[in-house]
Amino acid sequence: MSRPPFADWLSQTNDVTSTFLAAGQIPGLINLAGGLPDPSAWPVTELAELAQEAVRDFPAESLAYGPVPGQPRLRDAIAARFSTDALPLTRDNVLVTTGGTQALAALGLALVMTGQTIAVQTPAYLGALDTWRARGPDYRPMVLEDADFDPVAAMTGAQFAYTVPNFSNPSGRLVGTDQRRALIDAARRTGTWLVEDDPYGALYYDGAPLPSMLEMAGTDSPVIYLGTVSKELAPGLRIGWAIAAPEMIAALSAAKQGTDMFSSGLCQMVTALAFERGLPEAIRPHILSMYRARRDALCEALETHLSDWFTWEKPEGGMFVWARARDGRLNTDALMRAGLTEGVCISPSSVFDPEHRDHGGMRLNFTLNPPDELEEGIRRLARTTRAVLRD
């Protein structure tokens, strides 16, 4: 049989990725692999009321074909949410997207041709790598925690530099204010766009959030800021946004037009009403206290059951703990596969590397499961680790 033309493209998705993405379906399995919010965090009653109001009172906005860059009312609400005295934003600075994922895809379509370079904070967000794969870019890893990391060298000649400064997926790491400033300066010096992907900025458990690079850079900015309602309201709404200079918004909007014309009008209206009425802020205390307790439970379980084999840092926010193997022989692809038979699933470091190399690390999610399940999951993982090291 002749190979279909897309076979080469498909063969670039490795089996570890598809196995761990499918693992959530196995009954009884404790899934530490995903990045899912707890369903009890969704404001179901409020969203049901807003959806009814949107269709009843705003049928044209909710149900007709809509403008490509988004409903003016939602663009205004997003501009208002992110404006400061030093950074007055208007709807021209805002593109509404179908989840943050579409903003990432639009960046690839608008800015990257085959063989061009994207500088990527590494370990890298798997979903971003997926959206850019068909463009065939060259990746330049940016390991921000390396003492000799040089942002100017990393950004020179790149189409854009991709970062997740707040509680990165997968590393859980918070980029400090000095490094944020250094990234902005390097973007200005090199003329490279600096992408600040921020789905986790509202999930901070210790202390106050840091100013965003968008805010720090002020007007005339090299920053393209990406946001989403997925972690603050519900991922099923599929509403995200990009905030940037109007020329960049126009370029991203042109890229979006060819993929879905416009994001769901109904979901845009629900989001606009939710933002105008402060729904994310109203439910945030509950979400933060639930996730803070789960983060603490996961870290305690790691201390009790896995500290002989792994090191980690307690993240100050977000959804993930990144654990590194003390023993270089521990392959986390093997650990993931063996874990499935013990009833636990982790995300191995290879899925966060553009070349799928194992780095002896793993990402553990703490938002989906209650504390007792998290502890049981880590207990199972300890059994699995012992077995893998014995084999």
Q: Does 232 bind ligand PMP (CB under 6 A)?
A: no
What is the Cα 54 distance to its own chain's centre?
28
Rank residues 162 and 205 by Cβ distance to ligand PMP and give the closer one.
162
Rank residues 120 and 325 by Cβ distance to ligand PMP and give the closer one.
120
Total residues contacting ligand PMP by CB under 6 A comes to: 14
Rank residues 35 and 137 by Cβ distance to ligand PMP and give the closer one.
35
User: 345-381 b/e with 16+ CB inside 10 Å = b?
Assistant: bbbbbbbbbbebebebbbbbbbbbbebeebbebbbbb
Q: Does 369 bind ligand PMP (CB under 6 A)?
A: no
Q: Does 212 bind ligand PMP (CB under 6 A)?
A: no
**Binder of ligand PMP out of 37, 123, 240, 377 (CB under 6 A):** 240
Please report how close the Cβ of residue 370 comes to ligand PMP at its closest, in angstroms: 21
Please report how close the Cβ of residue 105 comes to ligand PMP at its closest, in angstroms: 10
Site stretch for ligand PMP (CB under 6 A), options 97-105, 244-252, 291-299, 359-367: 97-105
Q: Does 235 bind ligand PMP (CB under 6 A)?
A: yes
Q: Return the residue nearest ligand PMP (CB atom).
A: 99
Query: Is there a cis peptide before residue 199, judged by omega within 30 degrees of 0?
Result: no
**How many other CB atoms are there within 10 angstroms of residue 272's CB atom?**
25
CA distances from 181 to 165, 176, 337 (A): 12, 9, 41
**How many other CB atoms are there within 10 angstroms of residue 67's CB atom?**
14
Please report how close the Cβ of residue 225 comes to ligand PMP at its closest, in angstroms: 12
Rank residues 199 and 354 by Cβ distance to ligand PMP and give the closer one.
199
**Binder of ligand PMP out of 31, 121, 169, 263 (CB under 6 A):** 169
Between residue 126 and residue 145, which ones bind ligand PMP under the rule CB under 6 A? 127
Please report how close the Cβ of residue 48 comes to ligand PMP at its closest, in angstroms: 20
Rank residues 187 and 203 by Cβ distance to ligand PMP and give the closer one.
203
Rank residues 74 and 382 by Cβ distance to ligand PMP and give the closer one.
74
Q: Does 199 bind ligand PMP (CB under 6 A)?
A: yes
Q: Does 35 bind ligand PMP (CB under 6 A)?
A: yes
Residue 42 exposed, middle or buried by CB count within 10 Å (0-12, 13-18, 19+): middle
Rank residues 101 and 385 by Cβ distance to ligand PMP and give the closer one.
101
Q: Does 230 bind ligand PMP (CB under 6 A)?
A: yes
Between residue 45 and residue 84, which ones bind ligand PMP under the rule CB under 6 A? none
Q: Does 17 bind ligand PMP (CB under 6 A)?
A: no
**Binder of ligand PMP out of 100, 123, 201, 339 (CB under 6 A):** 100
What is the Cα 249 distance to its own chain's centre?
20
Q: How far apart are CA 155 and CA 153, in angstroms?
A: 6
Q: How many Å is the maximal CA-CA distance in the chain?
A: 64
Contact residues for 381 (Cβ-Cβ < 8 A; gap 6+): 32, 305, 306, 335, 339, 342, 344, 346
Contact residues for 264 (Cβ-Cβ < 8 A; gap 6+): 98, 238, 239
Q: Does 166 bind ligand PMP (CB under 6 A)?
A: no
Contact residues for 54 (Cβ-Cβ < 8 A; gap 6+): 61, 62, 266, 269, 270, 273
CA distances from 158 to 137, 194, 336, 356, 359 (A): 10, 10, 34, 21, 25
Q: How far apart are CA 87 and CA 221, in angstroms?
A: 10
Q: Does 252 bind ligand PMP (CB under 6 A)?
A: no
Q: Does 347 bind ligand PMP (CB under 6 A)?
A: no
Q: Does 228 bind ligand PMP (CB under 6 A)?
A: yes
What is the Cα 49 distance to its own chain's centre?
28
- Say which amino acid occupies 214: L
| 3-class SS shares of the chain: helix, strand, coil, % to 5 | 50, 15, 35
Site stretch for ligand PMP (CB under 6 A), options 95-103, 144-152, 182-190, 330-338: 95-103
* Site residues, ligand PMP (CB under 6 A): 35, 99-101, 125, 127, 164, 169, 197, 199, 228, 230, 235, 240
